[in-house]
Amino acid sequence: MVSTMQATISLLIVEKNGATRNRTIAMTSKSFADGLEKRIIKFLEPADVRGTAMLVVDNKNTADEIWIYLPALKKTRRIASSENAKSFMSSEFSNADMGSPALSDFKSQHTTGSGTNNTWIIESIPVSDDKADEYGYSRKISYVSMDTYQVKKMEFFNLDNDHFKTIEITKFHPMPEGKFMVSDMIASNTISGRRSEIHFNNIADKVKVEDSFFTVQSLAR
């Protein structure tokens, strides 16, 4: 069963002093029964990022594949896994936050308090130092609703085991077949004081999109 979705995304970046920047993004995604999902992300505003585009291939059991097109260079390149920890378009979200990390990259277990207050609390630790360097954190704590299995919050700890970032998922959008999609989330850097927010607008599902749209070649169009 194939499902498709389109949306306009607002990416708000808030500095510690309150100064703000806003980026407008168009996203189209298509998912397949084998667990594969592909997404095209294109930046519309402001002018300095307009035309920048990304293709995310979200694999079910292996690491995501990400390509980016930079209009100023007229060049497309693949984002290496070593860049997963880097900032997504100068925000507090990382490149890895834009996809779904492979479960095999982590050892996960319930931690203290899990199962109380209708919440599972799951600790995920990278399986190796190389994976910790790749993702940019030594462990992640996820808070998951026991009723809906939706992740409500994630806390990230850096390589010194200091809590440096929290991502709160504040809204889900209902999709066909009883599924839900994250539509609003906030990433707060507890060290720098910066904050970034992603808000989905104009969400449309079951739109007609050809498979050929989700190719590296289409990024420059």
Higher pLDDT, 92 or 58: 92
pLDDT interval class at 1 (50, 70, 90)? very low
End-to-end CA distance of the chain: 28
3-state secondary structure of 206: coil
Q: 62 versus 134: which is more confidently predicted?
A: 134
Amino acid at 169: I
Are 12 and 199 in contact, with CB atoms under 8 Å apart?
Answer: yes
pTM, to two decimals: 0.90
Q: What is the mean pLDDT of residues 102-124?
A: 95
pLDDT band per the 50, 70, 90 thresholds, residue 18: very high
pLDDT exceeds cutoff 90 at 140: yes
Q: What average pLDDT does the segment 110-116 reach?
A: 96
Structure tokens belonging to residue 50: 């307009």
Query: Looking at residues 134-146, what average pLDDT do you find?
Result: 97
> Is the pLDDT reported for residue 2 higher than 60?
no
Residues 181 and 169: their CA atoms lie apart, in Å, by: 10
Amino acid at 40: I
